[in-house]
Structure 1
Amino acid sequence: MEVKDRKDIDVKDTWNLESIYANNELWEEDYAALEKDAAEFAKLKGAIEADVSKIPAVLDAYYGLHRRLSKLSVYARMRFDQDTTDSTYQTMSAKIGSLGVKIGAASAFVEPEILSYSKEQLEAAEKENERTAYYGRKIEEMLRGQEHTLDAEKEELLAAAGDMAEAPDDIFSVLMNADMKYPDIVLEDGTHLPLTNSTYISYMESPDRAVREGAFKTLYGQIASLKNTFAAIYRGNLKQAKFYAQSRKYSSARAMYLADSNVPESVYDNLLSAVHEALPMMYRYVAVRKKVLGVDKLHMYDVYTPIVAAQNQTYEFEQAKQMVLEALKPMGEDYLSHAREGLENRWIDIYPNKGKKGGAYSWGCYDSQPFILLNYTKNLDSVFTLIHEMGHSIHSYYSITAQDYAYSDYKIFVAEVASTCNECLLMHDLLKKTTDKEQRKYLLNHYLDSFKGTLFRQTMFAEFEKTAHDYCAQGKPLTAEALSQMYLELNQKYFGPDMEKDEEIAYEWMRIPHFYTPFYVYQYATGYSAAVALSAKILKEGKPAVDAYMSFLKGGESKDPIDLLKMAGVDMTTEKPVADALALFGELVAELEALV
Structure 2
Amino acid sequence: MSQMNAIPERDQVSVEETWNLTDLYADDAAWQAEFEVAQTYVDKLSAYAGRLGESGATLLEYLELCQEADTLLNNLANYAYRKGDQDTRVAQYQAMEGKISSLAVEISGATAFETPELLAIDPAKLEGFFQEEAGLELYRRYLTIIQEKRAHVLSDAEEKLLAAASDLAQAPNDVYAKLTYADLTFPSTTDGEGNEVPLSNGAFVPTQMSEDRMLRKNAFEAFYGVYGSVRNTAAATLNAEAKQRQFYANARKYPSALAAAVDSTRVPESVYHNLIQTVNANLDKMHRYIRLRKKLLGVDELHMYDIYAPMVSGGEKVIPYAEAKDTVFDALAPMGEKYRAIIREGFDNRWIDVRENVGKRSGAYSAGALCHPYVLLNHKDNLESMFTLAHEMGHAAHSYLSNRTQAPVYRDYVIFVAEVASTCNEALLMEYLLQRTTDKRERAALINHFLEQFKGTLYRQTMFAEFELRMGELCAKGEPLTADLLSAEYKALNEKYYGPDMVSDDEIALEWARIPHFYYNYYVYQYATGYSAAIALSRRILKGGESAVEDYLGFLSGGCSKDPIDLLKGAGVDMSSPAPIQDALDLFGTLLDEMEKLMEE
TM range (shorter): over 0.9
* Residue matched to 1:102: 106
* Residue matched to 1:3: 7
Residues in 1 aligned to 2:45 and 2:271: alpha-carbon distance in whole angstroms: 39
* Residue matched to 2:521: 518
Q: CA deviation at 1:538?
A: 0.4
* Residue matched to 2:130: 126
| Contact persistence 1:300–1:502 (CA under 8 A) | yes
Q: CA deviation at 1:572?
A: 0.6
Q: CA deviation at 1:190?
A: 4.2
Q: For each residue in 1:217-273, what CA deviation from the matched residue of structure 2 results, as whole angstroms up to 9, or x when unmatched?
A: 100011011100000000111111011111101111100010012111111111001
Residues in 1 aligned to 2:368 and 2:272: alpha-carbon distance in whole angstroms: 29
SS in 2 for 1:362: strand
- Mapping of residues 452-463 of structure 1, within 5 Å: 452-463=455-466
Q: CA deviation at 1:191?
A: 3.1
User: Is 1:29 paired with 2:33?
Assistant: yes
* Residue matched to 2:278: 274
Residues in 1 aligned to 2:258 and 2:344: alpha-carbon distance in whole angstroms: 39
Q: CA deviation at 1:385?
A: 0.3
Structure 2 gap segments, 5+ residues each: none
* Residue matched to 2:309: 305
- Mapping of residues 449-488 of structure 1, within 5 Å: 449-488=452-491
* Residue matched to 2:50: 46
- Mapping of residues 345-364 of structure 1, within 5 Å: 345-364=349-368
Residues in 2 aligned to 1:184 and 1:533: alpha-carbon distance in whole angstroms: 43
TM-score (norm 2): 0.98
Q: CA deviation at 1:277?
A: 0.7
| Contact persistence 1:55–1:114 (CA under 8 A) | no
Compute the RMSD of aligned alpha carbons. 1.1
SS in 1 for 2:366: strand
* Residue matched to 1:75: 79
| Contact persistence 2:24–2:79 (CA under 8 A) | yes
Q: CA deviation at 1:187?
A: 4.8
| Contact persistence 1:413–1:527 (CA under 8 A) | yes
Residues in 2 aligned to 1:365 and 1:140: alpha-carbon distance in whole angstroms: 27
Q: For each residue in 1:129-182, what CA deviation from the matched residue of structure 2 results, as whole angstroms up to 9, or x when unmatched?
A: 212221000011101111111121111110110111111100100110010001
* Residue matched to 2:290: 286
* Residue matched to 1:243: 247
Residues in 2 aligned to 1:99 and 1:580: alpha-carbon distance in whole angstroms: 46
* Residue matched to 1:203: 207
User: Is 1:221 paired with 2:225?
Assistant: yes
| Contact persistence 2:207–2:216 (CA under 8 A) | yes
Residues in 2 aligned to 1:171 and 1:94: alpha-carbon distance in whole angstroms: 12
Aligned pair partner of 2:163 in 159, 163, 167:
159
Residues in 2 aligned to 1:293 and 1:540: alpha-carbon distance in whole angstroms: 36
Residues in 1 aligned to 2:193 and 2:320: alpha-carbon distance in whole angstroms: 30
Q: Give, as a single letter, the amino acid of the residue that structure 2 aligns with 1:224.
A: G
SS in 1 for 2:254: coil
| Contact persistence 1:119–1:143 (CA under 8 A) | no
Q: For each residue in 1:187-238, what CA deviation from the matched residue of structure 2 results, as whole angstroms up to 9, or x when unmatched?
A: 5654322111111111010110000011111000110111000000001111
Q: Give, as a single letter, the amino acid of the residue that structure 2 aligns with 1:184.
A: S
User: Is 1:175 paired with 2:179?
Assistant: yes
| Contact persistence 2:191–2:212 (CA under 8 A) | no
> Taking every aligned residue pair, what percent have the same amino acid on both sides?
47
User: Is 1:594 paired with 2:597?
Assistant: yes
Q: Give, as a single letter, the amino acid of the residue that structure 1 aligns with 2:204.
A: Y
| Contact persistence 2:220–2:305 (CA under 8 A) | yes
Residues in 2 aligned to 1:123 and 1:186: alpha-carbon distance in whole angstroms: 70
* Residue matched to 1:88: 92
SS in 2 for 1:577: helix
- Mapping of residues 547-566 of structure 1, within 5 Å: 547-566=550-569
Residues in 2 aligned to 1:45 and 1:7: alpha-carbon distance in whole angstroms: 48
Aligned pair count?
A: 595
Q: CA deviation at 1:123?
A: 2.7
Q: CA deviation at 1:49?
A: 3.7
Structure 1 gap segments, 5+ residues each: none
The range that moved more, 180-189 or 285-294, is 180-189
The range that moved more, 348-357 or 401-410, is 401-410
Q: For each residue in 1:496-532, what CA deviation from the matched residue of structure 2 results, as whole angstroms up to 9, or x when unmatched?
A: 0110121100000100001111110000000000000
Residues in 2 aligned to 1:365 and 1:181: alpha-carbon distance in whole angstroms: 31
The range that moved more, 465-474 or 183-192, is 183-192
Residues in 2 aligned to 1:425 and 1:137: alpha-carbon distance in whole angstroms: 34
